[in-house]
Amino acid sequence: MQTLRTFIAIELNKQTQFRISEIQNNFKNLNVYLKLVEPKNIHLTLHFLGNLDISKIDSLNKKIPVIMKNIESFKIRPQGIGAFPNIKNPHIIWIGIKEGATKLKDTQERVKNILNIIHIQTDSREFHPHLTIARVKSKENGHILTKSLTELEYFQFDEILIGEITLFKSTLTPKGPTYEILEKWKLGNP
């Protein structure tokens, strides 16, 4: 059985990637130890599929477009910078999704139902839409990072129109992951 490491996500437009890189540049000046996610690699994950049997991709291509045509394009607005598990003990730095989160969760749930039908395992945890922008590598100067995150708690981005979802192949390399688009599925009737 041949497998590919895959996930289903929403790509970001160039304008949003640029705005995120500006925020990341601010972190570089804080004297904290972070592994920043390359802006071109930042995406909104709907489902991490892990090592997917490539024969399942054909099933996805048959089932996903059927549900996508019943979901109209919608807008989301990234807003607020936070951290998992919290800003006082940050491990993962993220941008939240406020506006459009309900529609996003509905889309994620519909995709999850299809994945379950074709026997692709899904995460049982509640979906919290976010964009991972950095990983904390050391707690040294953590108070400086916490102060910065507190100041960015309500930072707001421009709206993003969501018109498709994408199946990505992920390859892990010593320099970080690389992503390749395998499939794109448009929302709404073509």
Confidence band of 176 (pLDDT split at 50, 70, 90) = confident
Kindly report the average pLDDT of the chain as a whole number. 94
pLDDT tens-digit map of 109-153 = 999 999 999 999 988 889 999 999 999 999 888 899 999 999 998
pLDDT tens-digit map of 59-90 = 999 999 999 999 999 999 999 999 999 999 99
What's the pLDDT at 40? 94
Q: Which domains does the chain have, with CATH numbers?
A: 3-185 (3.90.1140.10)
Confidence check: pLDDT of 185 > 90: yes
Confidence check: pLDDT of 175 > 70: yes
Query: Can you give the pTM of this predicted structure?
Result: 0.93
Question: Mean per-residue pLDDT for 147-171?
Answer: 94
Confidence band of 189 (pLDDT split at 50, 70, 90) = low
What's the pLDDT at 190? 53
What count of residues does the chain have?
Answer: 190
